[in-house]
Chains A and B, each alone.
Chain A
Amino acid sequence: MKKIIFSFLLIFLFIVSCGQTTERGTNINYKQGFTDITISYRGAAEEYQDQQLILPISVHNILAYDITEVEVSLRGFDNHYIELYSDKQHLNNLEGKSIFKNDGMQEDVIFEGMVKKLLPGAAQEQENFRTSVSYHSKVEFSPSICVTSQSGSQGYVGAAYEAYQGACAFQKEISYKGQGAPLGVTNLEIIPRQGKQIELRMTIENKGKGKVGKITLATAALGGKPLTCEFRGNSVENSFLFESEEKSATLVCAGYLGSDETYTTPLFVELLYDYGIDQKEMLMILK
């Protein structure tokens, strides 16, 4: 009997030890995927007329980057029923996820105001409002890419192809699934040019639920050498302004390669952006 129990325990231990361990510390790459900050309304769903109003809002940064200039606002309240003493509040910088802060940083703000009187004879009134958060942040795009100055690829437009030459497999077009922010590079096209030159076309997309305002290119380097870049379309110098319905932008960079060979080299692009996101909430005012 003891042998049987021991055998079971041994098997159990074996199974447990084979399970997936939680990723921790340096093994986790937070800068992947698309994600948004989370906003939570922590106040009551119902409030009574002629009462003080307290509306606590929690903002949780689960991006892979810090967010700065965070402004939390409440919009859409009907002034006849709700009077807010202030409809905007500013937060300190909220750190994003990192090896030192696995869950990112969360902070609460409290809005205060007054619930006014309902209309004569009315029993209740439903108020729809929105909690909006706007911030400034960045996103980094830092893949290692296989580059070549071979002009044999000239004129080839369309699907990716592989020409194994030397150390790495050259891919003309590569897709990416985000860099841990709502905004990220989703596509990279590598176009070799004459005389060891190379052109990189990056598609930057907003996959979050909010809206991107202005994107500014902070850094762009290939193998440590700076690239010359510009946004296509609605751009001013190093910046691109997203129109209301716009969801993507194209950044075109050009640079020189250090060698005629095909080789792998790091690409680093850092983009700064303004972002705004809101969430619909509901508050019932009772008599």
Chain B
Amino acid sequence: MIDLFRLLKKAVIANKQGFREFGSEKEEKPKKEPEIKDKDPRVKNFFSVQREKPKAESRPSPSSPSRRFSLPSFNAPSLPKIPAATGVYIGLIILSIIGLILKTYIAYHPGGSLFLSIILGFFFFIAIHYTPEAQLKETMVFMTFALDTFTQFVLGLFPESEFKNWLITYYVFAWVILAVVLFLTGVFDTMGAGEHLGKGGLLVLMLIIGFILFLLFPILVTGPVAMQDETHAEYYGIAKAQVVKIADSLTETKNVWHDYFTCTFGVLGGSYKYDGCIEDKRITRYCTNNVRGATEQQACFQEQKKIALQGGAATVEGAVSDAIKQVTKVELKVDEFFPKKTTEPQKFYPVSLEVQNPRQQTFIASISCLFTQQKINISGKVFVNGQEQNQVQIREKEQHVSIDCQPSADLKGKYTLSYAATLSGMQTFSFLKRAFISEKIDATLRKQIDADNFKSKDKISQGPAEFALLNFKFGTGDGSAPLVLAEEPVSFSFSVANLGSGEVLKVNSYNFYGLWERGFSVDDERVGDKECLQGGEIRLIAAQTKKRETSELKRCYLTLPPDLAQLTEKEFKVETFVADLNYDYKLTKSIPIEVTPLENVQTPELVS
């Protein structure tokens, strides 16, 4: 961007004064052309495609300070309209796209990808070497090459995260992005030099602008203003969560440079699987940190390896149950009479907390409000049902709570009023169906059990459509299969998904009573969390409860109750297990308001 601004600035200056200078140079130094040709024939080769150079035309002296900037001026009025550099940039865009396609074709094999990057880097470097502001552009090419090469070798080290996805996106499109940026600088160069873009240049420019508009169009149509009060106050939360997530990724990554170098060596030779190597290193580190004793560590390694083979640290899936009709809903509502514009500096701003609580849970709603104006925060006094208090207990099937917020100081100007309702002690549950069989069971019976009991959603845990959804799985392998083999180890894990627009602050308690009451227990002889089936507080960050990629909160192995562990080949049992979750949830609502105190209001009478 800095480069673009600098070029634009320079282009504008050049537009004002530069052409006279070029013109004068043309007249003054035509005799120096042969000298330049001899000195640097490559320059001619590069740009000769795009121009028909008149014999009378001359080039500035290499010693001239304006030499670099004068390159586009070869396209004098009598020359074709596409300036030389712009044409080269179009060529670079095409080249980068070819590179992208070729990389896709070779499936981003590290060796092949590196080879293509070297070729691309070479062409880019040569092409921009003779353009205006070449040094800066060369730096850009070098940085792109370095980052491209660096990225492709470190990607494997990063755990799955948003940050990694951004890195991958950059890695894939790096050269195309660079080519487009260079093209735009070329456009600025050309326009700054007061010349016209040719048809080709215009076409590419329109394509780029069109593409950018295509990306921006949905945002423009939906209207950022309309979304302001909903989203603005959440920005900080989102940004915080994102930073925490990246920090987590980096923490996971910080110890793995050694892994990177040792595994990379094998990959370049093509004889060793990079992913497998990295996975082995990760497991070794995990077991060394979490398990004591050489034998136990060895056992840990074997088990983790097995888990990785069975799908690794996959997320725990869950779904909303259609069968559960009684669902707890809480909403902060603003009605049409909300005073978005007022003259009172300390007005009451009313909202309501609408609660549908058909299962008659008991929980506490703590309300707070804040007026923000750029960096100024003014706290608000909260009135619940007319009383100055900030908490209310919810226990009725349907409850309407009137909330008023009054600023603690006089307001003047535009503010964002943010309400927050922290719901403490929300309760939800989920259930999971499993069939227990012997591994010797008749194949037909096995199919029959599967067909009779497990249709799509029945294979995963389900719960009511509330703010938080408790996902859990257990069974043979990674626990996703609905048929549990009595003879195999039974793995168990759970996570929490955020289904609402707010934030799951923490788990207060979790209780897989359906399992332990039935006789399941945590297998102490295997690696895993001891408090897998029942436990207390777990602090959460937004990234852990992301709806489609929830993070496992606990993982362990279970031992089956005797009647299930000793099933014969003709027996099977189908059972549904229920678990409870108690959690805190934060709802927020932001509303833009404007306060114009009366002394500032100029009425017609006062004016007259």
Task: Please give the residue numbers on chain A whose beta carbons come within 8 Å of chain B beta carbons, in ascending order.
Answer: 75-81, 119-125, 128, 130, 211, 244-245, 280
Contacts and interface: CB of A to CB of B under 8 A. Distances in A.
B578 A80 contact: yes
Given A75-B572, A79-B574, A123 B325 contact: yes
Contacts of A125: 323
B326 interface: yes
A220 to B, nearest CB: 30
Given A76-B452, A245-B444, A121 B324 contact: yes
Mostly helix, strand, loop or mixed at chain B's interface? mixed
Contacts of B9: none
B444 A244 contact: yes
Contacts of B323: 119, 122-125
Contacts of B448: 130
B37 interface: no
Nearest to B448: A130
Given A125-B323, A245-B443, A245-B444, A120 B574 contact: no
Contacts of A76: 449, 452-453, 572, 574
Contacts of A80: 431, 514, 575-578
Given A119-B429, A121-B324, A124-B323, A78 B576 contact: yes
B429 A120 contact: yes
Contacts of B574: 76-79
A119 B442 contact: no
Interface size class of B (residues with CB under 8 A): 20 to 34
B528 to A, nearest CB: 25
Contacts of A122: 321, 323-325
A130 B570 CA distance: 14
Nearest to A75: B572
Q: Which of A76, A81, A125 has the largest count of B CB atoms less than 10 A from its CB? A: A76
B4 interface: no
A74 to B, nearest CB: 12
B255 to A, nearest CB: 45
B575 to A, nearest CB: 5
A77 B431 CA distance: 16
Contacts of B575: 78-80
B282 interface: no
Nearest to A126: B323
A78 B431 contact: no
Nearest to B434: A78
| Residue in A76, A81, A119 whose Cβ sees the most chain B Cβ within 10 Å | A119
A130 B431 CA distance: 23
B358 A121 contact: yes
Q: Which of A81, A122, A125, A130 has the most CB of B within 10 A?
A: A122
Contacts of B514: 80
The listed residue with most B CB atoms (<10 A of its CB), out of A78, A123, A128, A245, is A78
Contact of A119 (B452, B572, B573, B578): B578
A79 B519 CA distance: 14
Contacts of B359: 120-121
A81 B578 CA distance: 12
Nearest to B427: A120
A128 B453 contact: yes
B186 interface: no
A244 B452 contact: no
A79 B444 CA distance: 22
A121 B572 CA distance: 29
Interface string B320-343: 010111110000000000000000
Interface in B566-585: 572-578
Interface in B17-37: none
10 contacts: A78-B453, A78-B575, A78-B576, A79-B575, A119-B324, A119-B431, A119-B578, A120-B359, A122-B324, A128-B453
B396 to A, nearest CB: 16
Ranked 8 nearest A-B pairs via Cβ = A121-B326, A80-B576, A121-B324, A244-B442, A79-B575, A128-B452, A122-B323, A78-B574
B445 to A, nearest CB: 8
A211 to B, nearest CB: 8
A78 B271 CA distance: 51
A71 B504 CA distance: 53
Contacts of A77: 574
A119 B443 CA distance: 32
Given A119-B578, A130-B448, A130-B452, 16 more contacts: A78-B574, A79-B574, A80-B514, A81-B576, A119-B429, A121-B324, A121-B325, A121-B358, A121-B359, A122-B323, A124-B323, A211-B444, A244-B442, A244-B443, A245-B444, A280-B452
